[in-house]
Amino acid sequence: MWWCAEDGVSWRYAPWTVPLFEHHITSTDRAENPWYGLLSDAAAASGFTLEPEIFPAATDSRFIRQLGIPAIGFSPMAGTPILLHDHNEYLGRRAFAQGCAAYVRVVRAMAAAGPEVDAAVAAAKAAKEAKAAAAQQQMTQAKAGGVVRKARPPAANGGGSADEERPSKQAKAS
């Protein structure tokens, strides 16, 4: 952005947009995301090996992932130069036919999977959330650093309070 200012150019986001500053990633772990496993298996059965790559601005799936919905792009274009949105972009006939067959296999595999995969995804998500909650609770307790509140009578000289915070015996001096 500094280069814009040097050239006398300024920019801002369009007022009707909400820029995405966070990346929301879909898991490729089969235990956490069985849908990815189905995609990978169907692609392999079609002769394709998946090569996970991150294209944060290449598709609208980033907006779907922002909503917490797993989304993966899949482009079976073997033996094709990468000319996405370039001049003279094309797919050869063979790559097109193989890609169509791969999409058919993927859709059939996912349609046949049914609700049990959704249940597995929900169970994995619940386990992950429970683990995150437990970690957050441990961190909160650690941040408390052993500070406990003890009720005691007010000091005779008027200093202090009945509920003054005192370090516990486990707290280490710093």
Local structure of 148: helix, strand or coil? strand
Fold of 16-113: DNA polymerase; domain 1 (1.10.150)
Nearest to 145 by CA among 166, 126, 164: 166
Measured distance CA(145)–CA(142) in Å, rounded:
5
- 149 DSSP β-pair partners: 165
Model pLDDT for residues 29-86, shown as the tens digit of each residue:
888 888 899 999 999 999 988 888 777 666 788 888 888 888 888 888 888 888 877 8
Measured distance CA(2)–CA(10) in Å, rounded:
10
As to burial, measured by CB atoms within 10 angstroms (0-12 exposed, 13-18 middle, 19+ buried), residue 169 is: exposed
Give the tokens for residue 72.
């993966």
> Structure pTM?
0.57
Query: Are 35 and 110 a contacting pair, CB within 8 Å?
Result: yes
Residue 42: Cβ within 10 Å count: 21
Considering only CA atoms, give the Rg of the chain: 28
Spell out the domain ranges in the chain.
16-113, 120-145
Model pLDDT for residues 106-119, shown as the tens digit of each residue:
999 988 887 778 78
Residue 158 pLDDT class (50, 70, 90 cuts): very low
Model pLDDT for residues 117-157, shown as the tens digit of each residue:
878 778 878 888 898 888 888 888 877 765 444 445 555 54
Nearest to 25 by CA among 49, 60, 51, 54: 54
